Amino acid sequence: MQDKDLFNGVIGKYTDHNDENGATKKNMDLEISKTSISKPPGFGVRHLQIVLMFSGLFMSYALRVNISVGIVAMVDKSENATHATYDWDKTQQGLILSSFFWGYLLAQIPVSQMAQHFGAKMLLTIASIICALLTLITPWAASIDWKLMLLLRALQGLFQGFYYPCVHTLLAKWVHPCERGTLTTFTYSGTQAGSVVMLAISGILASSSMGWPSIFYFSGGATLIWTVFWMIFGSSSPDVCSRISIEEKKFIESIPGSNHGQLKTPWLNILKSTPVTALILVHAAQCWGFWSLLTETPSYLVQIFEFNIKTNALLSALPYLAMWIVSLAVSPISDYIINRECIGVATSRKLFNSIGHWVPALTLIILSFLREPIQAIAMLTIASGLNGFTYCGYMVNHMDLSPNFAGSLMGLTNTIANIMSILGPITVGIILSDDDENTSIDTKMGEWKIVFFIAAAFYFFGNLIFVIFGKAAIQPWNEPKDEQRSTAESDEERLGEALM
């Protein structure tokens, strides 16, 4: 099957939607145009935007996870004799790890609206510069007071809250459904790549003569460099991009259900939508499981297996290296089986998300009973690696439901879901004992067993709701009623012209 045939097949699959009475409608202008528009060959401007967004998310997550290894070094006197260390107990550490999400929640919905109306490039530029500067002053903040660390991380979270709504808005404008699984997954795999690299080099930096402060100097400086490239080559949409070819622009503008003008977000209809509710809950499950593990894995390896800081960092990065590789490997498979009409879009989203949540849930339960380090690391790697399937599951579902309001949907689901990102690390901090030296290994294992069982439960029930209630069809509220009427009139005119 040629690229044009693949494109035609996807057009047919994505133009179905249900009206208020449950009847199926066809968007006729897309049915007519599908015979004359083909996917441009080679590396296009849309691919350049994807690479830029990938690297932007890479730096975003490098700034997020630097504290995961950094805090281990900052409180471990035996590893940092020549650098300042701090007497922060487990509760304080949990608050520092979770404070990022306090600010993160506030930005999502407002930024999604600003990105939709004013473009995402400027917003990402501002967020990137501020986050980089806040990261560079982290060692100073830590030396003043741990509460100042809370404020600084909360501010970082506030401006990092710009990323997901902006990126989802950009993806909805730049990526056609026939490439959605592959290009979206590649973009968001930057989060895993950033986590892997930052976790790995953080241990090396912390154990070097530069000490743990170099973790923050390195990640902050690299983010400023990315910002320069983004300012030069990034673009909010094909409409305002001067580098894009006419052929590629026409291909992108044929995205089914997409309106490249400004539309008012139908919040009431969105909040009443059952598929959106299912999406919120599965997103919340992902946030609890993912962030509980990402922020606490270094602590787990230190407490249970007593790894040094360098080994700890490298092993903590391994599960997310697996997730990165898996996500890149499965995304072409997702697009292939959809484009070849092996299974429907909704079935594909649910299948991939089930693999990404239910198998990791099982491995976390097994992990809680293991005491051998190799076996435990293997289970952590499997759990995190297979979690990469979710990038072809719930993560692209916002664009399935509404290309016009994908950024707004991401802002909504990410706001609610990331409440779990706050509660997860705090809950872990409450469960774990403060006195590591006098706590037996059996007690420690029992505490971590609770942590892993809770994460497994979130994965299981969140995905179960998505499987039962999730959908992948464009929803009726994707376009306001007056837009639907004008589109229908245009459809009739085009159909008449095509038949003449």
Q: Work out how many domains the chain is built from and give that number.
A: 1
| 83 inside domain | yes
What pLDDT does residue 435 have? 60
Domain span including residue 36 = 18-499
| 342 inside domain | yes
| 325 inside domain | yes
What pLDDT does residue 258 have? 59
Report the sign of the C-alpha dihedral through residues 490, 491, 493, 498, in that order: positive
| 12 inside domain | no
| 331 inside domain | yes
Cβ–Cβ contacts within 10 Å for residue 243, how many?
A: 11
Query: pLDDT tens for residues 76-132?
Result: 766 545 677 788 877 788 788 778 878 888 888 888 888 877 778 899 999 999 999
What pLDDT does residue 1 have? 40
Q: What is the pTM of this model?
A: 0.70
Q: Where residue 378 sits, what CATH number does that domain have?
A: 1.20.1250.20
* Per-residue H/E/C for the chain: CCHHHHHHHHHHHHCEEECCCCCEEECHHHHHHCCCCCCCCCCCHHHHHHHHHHHHHHHHHHHHHHHHHHHHHHHCHHHCCCCCCCCCCHHHHHHHHHHHHHHHHHHHHHHHHHHHHHCCHHHHHHHHHHHHHHHHCHHHHHHHCHHHHHHHHHHHHHHHCCHHHHHHHHHHHHCCHHHHHHHHHHHHHHHHHHHHHHHHHHHHHHCCCCCCHHHHHHHHHHHHHHHHHHHHHCCCCHHHCCCCCHHHHHHHHCCCCCCCCCCCCCHHHHHHCHHHHHHHHHHHHHHHHHHHHHHHHHHHHHHHHCCCHHHHHHHHHHHHHHHHHHHHHHHHHHHHHHHCCCCCHHHHHHHHHHHHHHHHHHHHHHHCCCCCHHHHHHHHHHHHHHHHHHHHCHHHHHHHHCCCCHHHHHHHHHHHHCHHHHHHHHHHHHHCCCCCCCCCHHHHHHHHHHHHHHHHHHHHHHHHHHHHHCCCCECHHHCCHHHHHHHHHHHHHHHHHHHC
Residue that is written with structure tokens 């501010």 in the block: 155
Burial 381-400 (b: 16+ CB within 10 A, else e): bbbbbbbbbbbbbbbbbbbb
| 253 inside domain | yes
What pLDDT does residue 233 have? 92
**Structure-token pair, residue 223:** 């983010």
What pLDDT does residue 30 have? 36
Task: Tell me the pLDDT of the chain (500 aa) as tens digits.
Answer: 444 444 444 444 444 444 433 434 433 333 333 334 577 777 888 889 999 999 999 999 899 888 877 887 787 766 545 677 788 877 788 788 778 878 888 888 888 888 877 778 899 999 999 999 999 999 998 888 888 998 999 999 999 989 988 998 888 888 877 787 788 888 988 888 888 888 778 878 877 788 888 899 999 999 999 999 999 998 888 888 888 888 888 887 766 655 555 678 899 999 999 999 999 999 999 988 887 776 667 677 777 777 666 666 677 778 778 888 888 888 888 888 888 888 888 999 999 999 999 999 999 899 888 888 888 888 888 888 899 899 889 988 998 898 888 888 988 998 888 888 778 777 877 887 766 666 777 787 888 889 889 999 999 999 999 999 999 888 999 876 654 444 444 444 333 333 33
| 3 inside domain | no
| 7 inside domain | no
Query: pLDDT tens for residues 284-320?
Result: 999 888 877 766 676 777 777 776 666 666 777 787 7
